[in-house]
Structure 1
Amino acid sequence: MELNNLTLADLRQGWHPTLDGLQCNYCQAHWATGTPEKELVDHLTLVHGGNLAQLIHTDSRYNTLTTKQQDLLTAFSTGIKDQDLAKQLQVAAATIRHQKFTFREKAKQARLYLAIYDAVFDQAANQESPLIDVPTQTGPVDDRFMITEDEAASTLQHYFDFEHQPLRLKRWPKKQKVILTVLTRIIEEVPTNQHFSESAINQLLKPIYFDFVTVRRYLVDYGFLTRTADGHEYWRTTGKE
């Protein structure tokens, strides 16, 4: 699930709008605008076990819930009475009530933080171009990754021959920030949800730049591509989470 482009409403319902319809938050399932909500909910239930289950157990660095907390929230979602849940877990009912209180306090903190964040950065957004998305990095994040949309547009226009089909890179940049910006465009030529052999990924990159090996290496180093340990299989990294 790509959190960057989803609103709170999108997360709550389990699907989000696209240019030509609606799409599931968890797979490539797509529906036309105006599709009955029941059809979308049925898909989430049958294919993904329900949107709530996906949210609670989502595999994301932003999900800080412990396994115990996930289990408790799953139980609370069923409407089970505190006394009955306490018996199941062999704890006092007061312990269950305390857990609910803790969750409510966290929710209050989250709402306050969102209000502060929106007030600060909505105002800032009117003054500067927003940053583009780059893959989550395993190492330290520095100024290389602070790339505005305006900056990226200017850089890409400078380094790519957009009149040529297929896409062609005019020259390889020297600065790492520019390399990273260039990679954000190159990766768009690699289909999502597909695995490729090294030969196949080379065939995709070769028309873009003659030194496709360097391009491939940087795509892996910066997290745009993932590969197996033996380097025999490559696939596009999905999302920044």
Structure 2
Amino acid sequence: MSVDELFWNASVEELKNGYIYDNSNEQFTCIVCNESYQKGIIYPSDGVLYEAELAIKHHIRQQHGSMFHYLINMDKKYTGITAVQKEILGHFKSGLSDKEIAAELGSGSTSTIRTHRFKLKEKEKQAKIFLSLMELLNSEEEQGKDEEKLITIHKGATMVDDRYAITEQEREKVLTTYFKQGLKGKLSQFPSKEKRKIIVLQHILKRFDANKTYTEKEVNEIIKQVFDDFVTIRRYFIEYGFMLRNKDGSSYWLNK
């Protein structure tokens, strides 16, 4: 399962923890970067020995700061919170009083902060109702048909609109059409329609390691195994938010 699928399929509790536990293989996996720890193995870090679950908690602290920090810094299109709400939530997390937060924001009014606190609590209530509705909608007896399941949107998506309203059935059909030699073969042509581009790009992206940083040459070589016009694919990886790169273009990595 990809990092995006791990993240978006995680429960609220798993999102808070930052990891999932797979009973079948007794493995703890980070939902941010896909790093895994096997139950029963001891992992050394900074001179300390950690059993698997403690090791993944240590990993999250070391690599991602905290899940609060990671989640609150996600794009507004995923969190639904404004820049001001984000700042206020950060101050709440720090334990500041309403008066101290008002001073930090320069508003000078504790009543303004209390209003924000009230609105956030109302938003929390609405979120609970919405989650309940979606869980009821997605229950086994309601879901049934795999072809109606929508594909997972990657967390780095630069635009989230109806071009991502792609079902599993649509994806399979597009991949079969454009990868005539099989899913591990070459891309016959790059599609012009937006939905199809996303499907093809997501598939090609599976050839990259989520925990590795690549040079531009390495990115080109991997893409060329699939499609000769590596410049076009590489450009769309960046444009659609599948990949990030540094300013001089010397390093590329997956946008996790």
Instruction: Give the TM-score normalised by structure 1.
Output: 0.72
Aligned to 2:178: 159
Residues 107 and 174 of structure 1: CA distance in aligned 2, closer, same or farther (over 3 Å): closer
Residue in 2 that maps onto 1:11 = 15
Determine the structure 1 residue equivalent to 2:151. 132
- Indicate the residue corresponding to 1:111 in structure 2: 128
| C-alpha distance 216-92 of structure 1, shift in aligned 2 (>3 A) | closer
Alignment partner, residue 232 of structure 2: 214
Matched, 1:67 2:87: yes
Distance 1:22 1:93, change over 3 A: same
Q: CA deviation at 1:171?
A: 0.9
Instruction: Go from structure 1 to structure 2 and tell me whether the alpha carbon gap of 1:100 and 1:168 turns closer, same or farther (over 3 Å shift).
Output: same
- Aligned pairs for 1:23-62 (under 5 A) are 23-33=29-39, 37-45=53-61, 50-52=66-68, 54-55=70-71, 57-61=72-76, 62=78
Aligned residues: 225
Call closer, same or farther: CA 1:196–1:119 in 2, change over 3 Å.
same
What stretches of structure 2 of length at least 5 have no aligned partner?
41-50
Q: Max radius of gyration: which structure?
A: 1
CA distance in 2, matches of 1:54, 1:237: 14
Q: Pairwise mapping of residues 85-234 of structure 1 onto structure 2 (< 5 A)?
A: 85=97, 102-122=119-139, 125-127=143-145, 128-135=147-154, 137-139=157-159, 141-142=161-162, 144-160=163-179, 161-162=181-182, 167-176=184-193, 177-234=195-252
Cα displacement (A) at 1:10: 0.3
How far did residue 117 of structure 1 move? Answer: 2.6
CA contact (8 A) 1:168 1:209 kept: no
Deviations 1:130-158 (A, max 9, x none): 1112445445733x322211221232233
1:137, 1:53 → 2: CA distance? Answer: 19
Higher alpha-carbon deviation: 7-16 or 228-237? 228-237
Tell which deviates more after alignment, 194-203 or 90-99: 90-99
- Matches of 1:49 and 1:226 in 2, distance apart? 20
Q: How far, CA to CA, are the matches of 1:118 and 1:15 in structure 2? A: 20
Q: CA RMSD in A?
A: 3.6
| In structure 1, C-alpha distance between the alignment counterparts of 2:217 and 2:253, rounded to whole Å | 13
